Structure 1
């Protein structure tokens, strides 16, 4: 008896019903100001804040939320693509809030891999601090749903990590700070990698199994670094250092995957080429300006977009919002690239949510069954 189309449809419906939904995806985000959504608002002494105009001018409601851009972060945009809410800032919710079951954002402006990075902001959450906060999150989840389900949730969650920019921009590249005075770059990058390895290991021990570390972009080309050049050009030495860091992180992740984390899936998302291409060829992406920021800032006094700053007339024409951070429009481009690298094996022009990717594959399988005249019953 040949299987008929009605049976195929029934199989398809059952499979879709039981397919993993992107709405059930839990994400935990770690990082710096590129990913922050408001943690520093709750750090009373922190000088690394963006909860004032003109930050957030193009965000929903037009209000500053603590995001260091005019609109959304890359994390916000990726969450929307996955069909899930953007994880809230950890410090904005109580430890017994059910929202923690869907994930949290621990990112903090000024934070680095090293605890001493960003000290002149007085108060930030270093990567070490963020991991401590995640440990408290896991304990809260255990208390809420039990140890077994909590371990399962943490094992199946996706951990997105973007950290290291401040270790350069607000540490090693500042000639008056201790790390710049006592280390060569070779020594400094080895310190970063060894510290990062310990931090990723700790996350693994806390249950993280699906970690994505996105590398650094060409920091030598951000407006704050260009301002150090007499001609406003990219600083090639800084970019070379960043590429060395990225390469060593890739090697670290390969080593951890091969020898230490057999049950984990660590992935390195190389964002450097995409960001550099966006900066070097802005018109190819619909931008006009990539060598300076939309918000007219003074990088000598912090480089942030203050309420008395002058803005460009069209925010979508600029790659950078201030001296350090991309605009909302640029974040859309970067999120598309990141999403394709991390969540799609062969990405379509408009990436599909995970459950729809599953549906497409299942449809191809069922079409194969029909066309090849597969017999389930004789």
Structure 2
């Protein structure tokens, strides 16, 4: 659960429509990430403490009931996919998931509390780390190979585009917490190097002290699994999320956390450039929305928000409440609040972030095939 995923927001794979052994394969998404992209995986983790299964999560989407998303409406991945004409992929732990659904819609592996590192978010009891998400992706590959054959499946996955949104939990729910060994085993620079190194290894399979090691692991893993066109989303100013503010003495942004996000983004961008230059037939890009999110938080009125420092869903004066619960009080106009709860952006904030990333990457709609486009979220109601 975390905000840094804001920019560090979200993993999505788009598979270009093509005919594979008689299967009309549509453009789909495979999403890797944390609570900013989770659409229901943690709902199936019965012992997980990172949950969005209670009202008022999902109030402004579909039937208004909790759907596994850690916000009041859509995720950034939802909005980007909708704008590109892509179907919304189901959670990998959805018991109704089939091979045909994967070919039709793709898969979402994101899990609240998950991080690049296995040890991140351990106190949530259950969550899917990026390593575990990639293990599940390997299982998906096995299913598709059985369905359409090895050669067709290889082309199917190599033609896919992958988007990954992770990283904030590795700081907020790991490095910045003294109960974790990583908090005293590394300094700011070496932790980032550790992350980058891990991520690089992971990417090659589907930073040079702590942060470098993380990114390198990620690279190796995804590339060996067939990922060729991939977008990694950077982190936003995670020191400005309500949880970080309320834990500070001044109720202001925690600058150390923001500096870590900037360092992560710089290292992540360099890693993607390096990978694209040395991995065959690979295009890896890094999406950084830090500046626009920081500007919104600094000048919310200019962007149509009235509040960018506290959660819309809160438990009165009891802060931090951490999650939104049925007894929580909602703000009067959800569309005017940048943050939904102590960690996560609102639907309106996610839309702003998604549009910035769409513009930055020059993303456009894909050619639509048969079937309707996914229904948009309902507009946030001004009623609490």
Query: Is the shorter-chain TM-score for this pair beyond 0.5, marking a shared fold?
Result: yes
Q: Distance in 2 between matches of 1:196 and 1:86?
A: 25
Q: Distance in 2 between matches of 1:296 and 1:96?
A: 38
Say whether residues 1:141 and 2:160 are aligned partners.
no
Query: SS where residue 125 of structure 1 aligns?
Result: coil
Corresponding residue of 2:330: 311
Query: SS where residue 354 of structure 1 aligns?
Result: coil
Consecutive unaligned residues of structure 2, counting only runs of 5 or more, are 1-16, 20-24, 207-222, 369-384
| Per-residue Cα deviation, 1:63-120 (whole angstroms, up to 9, x for no partner) | 1011000011111111211112211111114564311113110000000010000000
Greater share of helix:
1
Corresponding residue of 1:32: 34
Counterparts in 2 of 1:1-378, with a 5 A limit? 24-94=26-96, 96-101=98-103, 102-203=105-206, 204-259=223-278, 261-297=279-315, 303-344=322-363, 352-355=364-367
Q: Distance in 2 between matches of 1:288 and 1:158?
A: 36
- Indicate conservation of the 8 Å contact 2:29/2:86, yes or no: no
CA drift at 1:268? 0.4
Query: SS where residue 286 of structure 2 aligns?
Result: strand
The structure whose Rg is larger is 1
CA drift at 1:299? 8.2
- Indicate conservation of the 8 Å contact 2:245/2:254, yes or no: yes
| Per-residue Cα deviation, 1:240-263 (whole angstroms, up to 9, x for no partner) | 11111111111111111112x121
Task: Give the alignment's TM-score, normalised by structure 1.
Answer: 0.83
CA drift at 1:300? 5.8
- Indicate conservation of the 8 Å contact 1:224/1:299, yes or no: no
Root mean square deviation of aligned Cα: 1.9
Q: Distance in 2 between matches of 1:146 and 1:292?
A: 51
Closer, same or farther: CA 288–48 of 1 in aligned 2, 3 Å: same
Q: How many residues align?
A: 329
Q: Distance in 1 between matches of 2:98 and 2:79?
A: 27
Consecutive unaligned residues of structure 1, counting only runs of 5 or more, are 1-18, 345-351, 357-378
Per mean C-alpha deviation after superposition, the further-off stretch among 120-129 and 283-292 is: 283-292
Query: SS where residue 255 of structure 1 aligns?
Result: helix
- Indicate conservation of the 8 Å contact 2:90/2:97, yes or no: no
Closer, same or farther: CA 85–355 of 1 in aligned 2, 3 Å: closer
CA drift at 1:178? 1.4
Query: SS where residue 92 of structure 1 aligns?
Result: coil
Query: SS where residue 108 of structure 1 aligns?
Result: coil
